Structure 1
């Protein structure tokens, strides 16, 4: 029975590679909700669980980077200062730290292991299999940035990726609905990864929705990530029905299911998202020209928010008991969070990882050596001070990218990138355990790099190293 979803996945991936079209990007974002599906039986991989996104990312790298021409174009992106040189240097530093620091400081530094099988306040640092696996995941994410930065130089492909955001958000909602209505048993066939699952948990008498993710916090964070992407990038979508009707419906549903995840990190992400969305609304009001797409929906959004808040206020005055379960839930997952064993344990992870960075004089302990509960601490402790500065320097470069003059859609995409990043960064800061920034963020970074590419928008075909991939000259 476990082989059925695995076979289905590989069949869809083969179609995506053979089709030579944008289907592989729809498959990529649609698969992000399948966080419990190991597409290679763990018995074969010595317990490692390979979920769909990194495997599909490898396929994208293979399609667009195969052959001498594709490799040279990807290297040009990686080594060009205006594109991804800082990220490439971050990878070089991460590899160096991971290969040498666990051996140089073996037994001298206390860390929290990534494969946490039981409670511990720290164990001595030694090289482990997790160093290689986590370095491999980071490498896939980084090379995905390079490959997608090449693929997304086509304006048409960028539009397909924006549509793929909506497909991914729809899958998040559908899997959440199936779990919410008590049909989670039908999702169990997709839970083939060897994880510790927390799929049937109540908090404050409310069922935590997890969809097809291992736990509620990962589901809630995924919902907020897609919510932020769809909300901010929708103004760059050319298809009017998707921009005006499909995306707003998904925004409402994703907000609801982020709340139903009852994840404190997701709630924090929603709070940051709301603040950034308000800032974006005022930015559009004050700076966008009359008749531009940026001003589209300003009045409707204002009245929807105002009427919604008014309705909540009137209900709170008239029927205050209606809000008691919600207030109890908020009190449990936010105000009592600091008193929970989980909060104390995760705070300890971060403290031990930060001390490991100090004990190695800022050199770091290597990818996969220590687990933190703070994304910033995870990056610096795993890759060292130099690696952390390079990575966050690349994030700043991404934030500051500018579109070519006259490229209205490109400007909308880069504005969306700037507003998308804060909620996701805050969530990673709250629950991030690894320096790997993930495939979704890799695509966002690539989208920004491709949009700001000085060569302008033109079609970029997959490399012609394989018989099922179009030759660049033939695709023009």
Structure 2
């Protein structure tokens, strides 16, 4: 059965390539829920697991890089200071540290290996296959930013991407529902990656929902990531039914499944999301012009919150015991987290990785050189001080981007990106193990870079990877 699922993926990918349309983006976001699915049998890749998103993203890179002047345009995006120069320099530094640091400091620095086969307090640094796999994943993420920044310049493509984001959320919810319903064994045909799976774990007598991810924390973080993106980007969606009905339903369901993951990382992300969403609501109330899309739903959101709080208050007033299981769960996964063996082990990973950064005089140990449990430490310990400052410099640049005058859609998108970043950043700091920022964030970075200070273009113009048509025939990518 494993080969059936793998063949199905490649058939869908081939159809997306041949269609030369936006289906490739729907396939990309829809595949993000399949975090345990290796689309190439691991026995053919020396145990490495290639999941769908990096493979699809690589195809997108070739599609847009292979179009008319595609490479030249991508190179312009990569080298332009106002676009992605910081990210390009970060990528160069990451490659340099990965090639040389594990050899320069071999046996001299203690690290936590990326591929953990048994518990350890640290091992000597040496070059490993994980150096190659991690720099490959990072390279795909960086190239995805360049290619998608080229693709997303067309407003029509941006609308397809927002729709694809909703499809990805649907897949997260569906896989979560199947797992919650006890149909996890039927999902095993998509669990072909060589990971350590934690799919049948309970906390405080509550089963942790994992969907098709290796563990609950990965599923919860994915749900919060989609929740955050859809909540803030929904006002840029042109289709009224999706913006006003579909997106709010997805937001509610994603919140529920993030809670059902019982992941402390997801709960932390939800807390930050709630605070940022409240700040965004006040910002819209105080600064958005009357009649603008930014003020859409303000009153409804206010009364929805009031009714929800009122319902919880009344329920607590008349039957407080109903909240006991939930409070016990929160106490276990949040307040007792610091006394758990998992917390102590992950804290040790971070301490060892941070010490490795200092032991290499701030040069880093290379991608895949050490495992941390803190995204900030992972970036700096893997790529060094220079790489870390370049990457977070690019994040700050993304946060500060502005739309061209008169580009209302662009202004909505960039405002949404600014509010999207804090919850995702905090979740990375709470549990990030690698310096690779992933395909989801790559698409968000590309969306911001494509939208910022660019003249809106018609669909089918410079962003089309197959512009060997006559000027009179325009078609969506």
* Length-normalised TM-score, structure 1: 0.98
Cα deviation 1:380-407 (Å, max 9, x = unaligned): 0000000000000000000000001111
How far 1:325 moved relative to its partner?
0.4
Match of residue 324 from structure 2 = 324
The CA distance in 1 between the partners of 2:463 and 2:268, in whole Å, is: 40
**Which whole-Å CA distance do the structure 2 matches of 1:271 and 1:470 have between them?**
49
RMSD between aligned residues: 1.1
Q: Check if 1:301 corresponds to 2:301.
A: yes
For residue 474 of structure 1, report the CA deviation from its aligned partner. 6.5
Consecutive unaligned residues of structure 1, counting only runs of 5 or more, are: none
Contact kept? 1:462, 1:470, Cα under 8 Å: no
Count of aligned positions? 472
Give the aligned partner of residue 313 of structure 1: 313
Q: Does residue 244 of structure 1 match 2:244? A: yes
In structure 2, the CA distance between the partners of 1:470 and 1:176, relative to structure 1 (3 Å rule), is: farther
Aligned residue number for residue 438 of structure 2: 438
Q: Report the CA distance between 1:455 and its aligned residue.
A: 3.7
Shift of 1:67: 5.3
Contact 2:350 2:374 in 1 (8 A): yes
Query: Is 1:258–2:263 an aligned residue pair?
Result: no
Who is 1:228 aligned against? 228
Q: How does 1:139-178 map to 2 (within 5 A)?
A: 139-178=139-178
**Among residues 437, 462, 465, which one is paired with 1:463 in the alignment?**
465
Alignment pair present for 1:86 and 2:61: no
Structure 2 residue aligned with 1:133: 133
In structure 2, C-alpha distance between the alignment counterparts of 1:442 and 1:389, rounded to whole Å: 18
Cα distance in 2 between the residues matched to 1:430 and 1:40: 31
Deviation at 1:184, TM superposition (A): 1.1
The CA distance in 2 between the partners of 1:463 and 1:330, in whole Å, is 49
CA distance in structure 2 between the aligned counterparts of 1:73 and 1:366, rounded to whole angstroms: 29
1:185 deviates by 1.4
CA contact (8 A) 1:463 1:472 kept: no
Query: Are 2:351 and 1:369 aligned?
Result: no
In structure 2, distance between residues paired with 1:461 and 1:413: 19
Say if 2:22 and 2:157, in contact at 8 Å, map to a contact too. Answer: yes
Structure 1 stretch displaced more, 60-69 or 97-106:
60-69
**Deviation of the 1:456 alpha carbon:** 3.1
Superposed, which structure 2 residues align to 1:170-189 within 5 Å?
170-189=170-189
In the other structure, the counterpart of 2:36 is 36
Question: Residue 112 in 1 paired to residue 131 in 2?
Answer: no
In structure 2, what is the Cα distance between the partners aligned to 1:224 and 1:392?
21
Q: Which secondary structure does the structure 2 equivalent of 1:43 belong to?
A: helix
1:8–1:355 Cα change, 3 Å: same
Quote the Cα distance in structure 1 between the aligned partners of 2:61 and 2:195. 27
2:68, 2:115 → 1: CA distance?
38
How far residue 457 of structure 1 moved from its aligned partner, in angstroms, is 2.9
> Is the 1:64–1:147 contact (alpha carbons within 8 Å) kept by the matching residues of 2?
yes
How far off is 1:470 after superposition?
5.2
Flag the 1:475–1:63 CA change in 2: closer, same or farther, 3 A. farther
Partner of 1:336: 336
Residue aligned with 2:392, SS: helix
Task: Give me the whole-angstrom Cα distance separating, in 1, the residues matched to 2:414 and 2:160.
Answer: 16
Tell me the CA shift for residue 69 of structure 1: 1.4
Instruction: State whether residues 461 and 471 of structure 1, in contact with CA within 8 Å, keep that contact through their aligned partners in structure 2.
Output: no
Counterpart-to-counterpart distance in 1, 2:409 and 2:473: 24
Secondary structure of residue in 1 paired with 2:115: coil
Offset of 1:367 from its aligned partner? 0.2
Give the Cα–Cα distance (whole angstroms) in 2 for the partners of residues 349 and 291 of structure 1: 51
Structure 1 position 186, deviation (Å): 1.2
Poorly superposed stretches of 4+, deviation over 4 Å: 469-475
Look up the SS of the partner of 1:448 in the other structure: helix
Q: Match of 1:194? A: 194
Q: CA deviation at 1:454?
A: 2.7
Partner of 1:62: 62
> How big is each residue's C-alpha offset from its partner over 1:51-93, in whole Å with a ceiling of 9 and x where there is no partner?
0000000010010001571111110100011110000000000
Structure 2 Cα separation of the partners of residues 47 and 197 of structure 1 = 15
Structure 2 gap ranges (5+) = none
The CA distance in 1 between the partners of 2:395 and 2:17, in whole Å, is 30
Partners of 1:460 and 1:472 within 8 A in 2? no
